[in-house]
Amino acid sequence: MLFLVFQIGRNRYALDSRRVVQVLPLLKLKCLPHAPKGVAGVFMYHGAPVPAVDLSELTLGEPAAELLSTRLIVLDYPGSGDQVHLLGLIAEKATEVIRREPRDFVDSGFNIKAAPYLGPVLVDSRGPIQWLREQHLLSQSIQQLLFGSPALLDSAAAAIQELPSG
Amino acid sequence: MSEPGTFAANAPAPDDLTDCWRTNGVYGTRTCPQLTDYVHCRNCPIHARAGLEPLNRPVPAGYAEHWTDHFEKEAWSRRSRPSSAVPFRIAGEWLALPTKCFLEIAEWRPIHSIPHARQIVLGLANVRGELLICISLGHLLGLADVPPRNLLRAKHAPLLVLSWAGRRVGFPADEVQSPSRFSSEQVRPAPPALAKANPAFSESMLQWRQRTLILLDPDRLFLALNRNLT
Amino acid sequence: MTISQRMNVALLSMIVLMLAAVGLAFWMQASRVGANLQQQRLIATNDRICYDTLLIMETLRALSGDPKNESERTRLEEADRNLRAVLREAQDRYSDYAELSASLKAISEFEAGTAPGSLGSLQARVLEVADSDPPNAAALFNSNHRDTARQREMLFRDLAQQVDHAGTAISLRGHNASVLGVAGILVILVVSLLIGRLQFTAVAAPLLRLASGIDQIRRGNFANRIALERRDEFGTIGEGLDRLADDLSELVGQIQRSGAQVNTSAVQLAGKIQDQQTSAREMASTVERMAAATKQIGVTARELAKTMNEVNRVDERTADLATGGTAAIARMEAAVKRVMEASASVGAKLTALSEKTASIDPLVANIAKVADQTNLLSLNAAIEAEKAGEYGLGFAVVAIEIRRLADQIGVAIYDIEKMVKEVQSSVAAGVTGMAKFAEELGRGGEEIGAVGSHLTQIIQREELLAPRLQAISENVGGQLTDAEDITAGLAHLGHAVERTAESWRQSHTVVDQLNAATLGLQSSVAKFKMNNTPVPPHYSSGSGTGI
């Protein structure tokens, strides 16, 4: 199984690559008004608006550094029912993939209520890597905000189309 | 991992990078003990991490804007995933086959003709040590009017190797382009007369770079092929 | 004691010796002439005595025949008086010659004496008989004059013999004076030769040591020191040369270290470039822009080569000037000034080169974009291959290869930035070295001026130094020929640099030439013998294996 590895702060996390649609360079985002902490904005992906979440801001409260190694990961986010939404994740040092079996990860031994997305842990020569379960990443309220009302995203997309890029 | 809760505090510090490939690596004294395992510094994880180091620099001016523009264009429908096809030219006609049915696009190589074979069979070619039946796709589709033997002499013609439903087959093409993505909006139905003329054709047309390709259906193509070969 | 004082003393003593020699010569001449005169006078005295004695005899004969003849009597008295005067004078003069004066005394006794047979008794008896008995006078004379004549002849013979002896003695004395004079002149000659020899060693020995010291410096041996330890002008020149050797040794050491550093960088850069060229195919457009920048560096290198040619021309002119003697030294100072200007220009060119390397930064930023895209491509390829499942296995291998390619581009960026930093620090060291070189040249120019004025003074006082100076100026000429060789080598290096800039995409051999040229420069610098010569590292440019 292939995992995409990235960092939040100084800790490394892994994402199931089957969920990943494409890894993009850090794009210019359109800010969403009154967006909650962690929601960085919206970008256009092949003509469709996609919301982006800054993992650093979401978990640590600090926005990700604007470096080449900071990437925008487009992934399939399971919605209610059979619905699948596209979601952008801004992650630092998203530059490597690793091939590991799920059994290589072991349970971390405790569950944090506020962070249900933290999964089992793997240790390699450079230290631990924690499986990030993307489907539990967003709180209900944020999911509702981002995917509950397509009209919001469409209006944001319209705003992007009207404005000159940048 | 005896204390799972503490790993976050013990996160590895950013290592001090050294250009060991120039000191005791392959560009230096070649005395690094790791070389016996990795043979070349290219295969060493230290080299790989050094290669990532220049990416930890600020985004150059205009870079993000360029890629934002790039991904904004080329509209896809929200639910349809892009497909991929390989355009190629046979007997003056541009055709395309889905990328997934291609095994390889090989260079030209001699095709040894088989006596008493059917007309569409050109012969056998050696591809990676395995014998591969080569056909004239133009004759299968009824496009070509040149004798198939002429195709044997057309050097520099790439050999396209297909693998579908357990059958491998190769055919020479006049020209081949790199795989291209397209969305379902770019696919239009072909004129009905075309499908009637030859069952191997699908009824799909593909708009590609101001050109209209005939998008072949691999199922129909191999059905026609099996009928011709057996 | 300075050389001029020494020269003055030598000149003065030579003049005194010359005067003494001239005095001796005069004295010799006078002695010889005096001896001749004395000899002639002796012969004349002899003749006079003989004549007067014979005259007395003849007048006596006449008086014996004619006693009344008064004129004969007067003649007799006169002759008698003359003879006595001559004899008295001769006896006085030749009293030194015992035998001669004995002979003279015998003659005067024969003339004035009363012994039988002597002229005096004959005269007295003849005059007495002539007065008393005139007719017997003649008979008396005739009977006695034979005996007297015989005595007279004996005396004359004795006198002639003694005169002859005395003459020989006189001429011998004159000869002795000549021998003495010649010996004196010989002594003067030897003394003046000694003075000349002393003078020669006082000037020639330090000049020889200076010439050999200059020769050592010309061969690049800065470890040698002249150390004349003299307080005269040569001491000053020697000290100046030693100080120059110290400064040059330090400077060349620095250049050697810089050269070794530049060479290390160049060799490493060469190996990296070779490896880089294979990666460079993946980023052709960026590399083309880099080549354009390198071409600009090449233009700068061409200007550098042109400046080197100017330095070469100045050196040739300096060679011409050196042959011209003292007047050329003034022009040599002007030439040194021009070399200073040229070296300032070289410094400026080095600075420009350093600025050019700064222009690599934006190109590296572009390569970083390529690295970023390649890395993204490898990630997406790996993810697509994974999603394609069994169909994607082959493509997964390609994804790994793309990832390796991205890593190599990243490592290349890492290496390029490090090397650019190294080259910049090397060039900075070169700029410092050029500034130091200009400073040394300035001091060298002042010292040449000082040496020039010293030389002018020495040449004005002593023409003897001219051939030595000629030899020195020939040495300087040889040095300049060596300098021309080095300049030609530098021009060759400039050419190699230029060619590298034009064809680094096309040919590895040009990089090898650059390497060979820097190694050549190192070996030509390495021939400067110093107290602690650094060992230049040797690399082969073919160490990179490429992809």
What is the per-residue pLDDT across C523-543, written as a single tens digit (0 to 9) for each? 655 655 655 444 444 444 443
Q: Specify which residues B104 forms β-bridges with.
A: B161
3-state helix, strand, coil in chain B (%, to 5): 30, 30, 40
For residue A57, give how far its alpha carbon lies from the nearest alpha carbon of chain C (Å): 23
Q: What pLDDT does residue C479 have?
A: 36
Chain B residues touching residue A25 (CB < 8 angstroms): 59, 63-64, 67
> Beta strands B187-189 and B93-98: pairing type?
unpaired
Chain A residues touching residue C382 (CB < 8 angstroms): 2, 17, 97
- Please tell me which of the candidates B19, B26, B54 has its beta carbon nearest to residue C368: B54
Distance of CA B78 to the CA centre of its chain: 25
Q: Which residue of C has its CA nearest to B99?
A: C391
- Please tell me which of the candidates B26, B42, B54 has its beta carbon nearest to residue C404: B42
Q: Is the pLDDT of residue A128 over 60?
A: yes
Q: CA-to-CA distance for B194 and B201, rounded, in angstroms? A: 7
User: A interface mutation test: which of C369, C386, C395, C414 has the most A CBs within 10 A?
Assistant: C386
Q: CA-to-CA distance for A96 and C217, rounded, in angstroms? A: 63
Write down the pTM of the prediction: 0.45
Contact check, Cβ <8 Å, A22/C375: no
Higher pLDDT pick, C486 / C372: C372
On whether any CB of chain B is under 8 Å from the CB of C278, the answer is: no
CB of C227 within 8 A of CB of C27?
A: no
Pairs from C499-506 (Cβ < 8 Å, separation ≥ 24): C500/C298, C501/C294, C501/C295, C501/C297, C501/C298, C501/C301, C502/C295, C502/C298, C504/C273, C504/C277, C504/C291, C504/C294, C505/C277, C505/C280, C505/C287, C505/C291
Within the 363-382 window of chain C, which residues sit less than 8 Å (CB to CB) from chain A? 368-369, 372-373, 375-376, 379-380, 382
Q: Is the pLDDT of residue C496 over 60?
A: no
CB of C386 within 8 A of CB of A23?
A: no
CA end-to-end span of chain C, whole Å? Answer: 78
On whether any CB of chain A is under 8 Å from the CB of B61, the answer is: no
Q: Who contacts C341 (Cβ-Cβ below 8 Å, separation ≥6)?
A: none
On whether any CB of chain A is under 8 Å from the CB of C530, the answer is: no
**Chains with 3 or more CB pairs closer than 8 angstroms to B?**
A, C
| 3-state secondary structure at position C229 | coil
Within the 381-440 window of chain C, which residues sit less than 8 Å (CB to CB) from chain B? 388, 391, 403-404, 406-411, 413-415, 418
Distance of CA A81 to the CA centre of its chain: 20
% of chain C beyond a pLDDT of 90: 4
Mean pLDDT in chain A? 86
Q: What pLDDT does residue C477 have?
A: 41
Q: CA-to-CA distance for C61 and C351, rounded, in angstroms? A: 134
pLDDT grade for C50, boundaries at 50, 70 and 90: confident
CA angle C402, A4, A115 (to 5 degrees): 165
Tokens of residue C88, six digits: 């008295």
Chain B residues touching residue C269 (CB < 8 angstroms): none
Q: Which residue of A has its CA nearest to C375?
A: A95
Chain A residues touching residue B73 (CB < 8 angstroms): 46-47
Residue closest to B149 by CA, chosen among B107, B106, B175, B115: B115
What is the per-residue pLDDT across C271-309, written as a single tens digit (0 to 9) for each? 655 554 544 444 444 445 444 544 555 555 455 545 545
Residue length, chain B? Answer: 230
Tokens of residue C399, six digits: 């994804």
Residue position matching structure tokens 């952008």: A88
Tokens of residue A75, six digits: 């992934």
Residue C298 amino acid letter = G
CB count within 10 Å of CB C470 equals 12
Q: CA-to-CA distance for C107 and C53, rounded, in angstroms? A: 9
Residue position matching structure tokens 């523009």: B69
Contact check, Cβ <8 Å, A110/B4: yes
Q: What is the mean pLDDT of residues B71-78?
A: 62
For residue A139, give how far its alpha carbon lies from the nearest alpha carbon of chain B (Å): 23
Tokens of residue B130, six digits: 């395995």
Q: Is the pLDDT of residue C10 over 70?
A: yes
For residue B72, give how far its alpha carbon lies from the nearest alpha carbon of chain A (Å): 5
For residue A75, give how far its alpha carbon lies from the nearest alpha carbon of chain C (Å): 11
Residue C260 amino acid letter = A
Q: Is the pLDDT of residue C220 over 70?
A: yes
Mean pLDDT in chain C? 72
CB count within 10 Å of CB B117 equals 15
CB of C256 within 8 A of CB of C528?
A: yes
φ/ψ of C126, rounded to 5, equals: -65, -45
Higher pLDDT pick, C321 / C158: C158
Q: CA-to-CA distance for C364 and C372, rounded, in angstroms? A: 12
Q: What pLDDT does residue C282 have?
A: 43
Within the 16-45 window of chain B, which residues sit less than 8 Å (CB to CB) from chain A? 45
Q: Which residue of C has its CA nearest to B61?
A: C365
Q: What is the mean pLDDT of residues C127-147?
A: 80
Q: CA-to-CA distance for C240 and C213, rounded, in angstroms? A: 12
Q: CA-to-CA distance for C5 and C458, rounded, in angstroms? A: 12
Residue B45 amino acid letter = P
Range with the lowest mean pLDDT among B26-35, B162-171, C331-340?
A: C331-340
- Please tell me which of the candidates A18, A68, A97 has its beta carbon nearest to residue C379: A97
Q: Which residue of C has its CA nearest to B30?
A: C543
Q: Is the pLDDT of residue B63 over 80?
A: yes
Chain B residues touching residue C372 (CB < 8 angstroms): 55
Q: What pLDDT does residue A149 have?
A: 64
CB count within 10 Å of CB C308 equals 22
Residue closest to C152 by CA, chosen among C226, C50, C24: C50
Contact check, Cβ <8 Å, C382/A97: yes
Q: CA-to-CA distance for C83 and C59, rounded, in angstroms? A: 14
How large is the ipTM?
A: 0.86
Q: CA-to-CA distance for A149 and A138, rounded, in angstroms? A: 16
pLDDT grade for A162, boundaries at 50, 70 and 90: low
Q: What pLDDT does residue C319 have?
A: 46
CB of B186 within 8 A of CB of B89?
A: no
Q: CA-to-CA distance for B58 and B98, rounded, in angstroms? A: 40
Segment holding A8, helix H or strand E: strand A2-8
Tokens of residue C141, six digits: 């004379």
Q: Which residues of A touch B (CB under 8 A)?
A: 9-12, 24-28, 43-48, 66-69, 93, 95-96, 106-110, 121, 123, 125-128, 160, 165-166
- Please tell me which of the candidates A2, A71, A94 has its beta carbon nearest to residue C386: A2
Q: What pLDDT does residue A152 have?
A: 63
Any idea of the CA torsion for C452, C458, C461, C467, to the nearest 10 degrees?
Answer: -100
pLDDT grade for C518, boundaries at 50, 70 and 90: low
Q: CA-to-CA distance for B175 and C494, rounded, in angstroms? A: 49
Q: What is the mean pLDDT of residues C242-269?
A: 72
Q: What pLDDT does residue C468 have?
A: 43
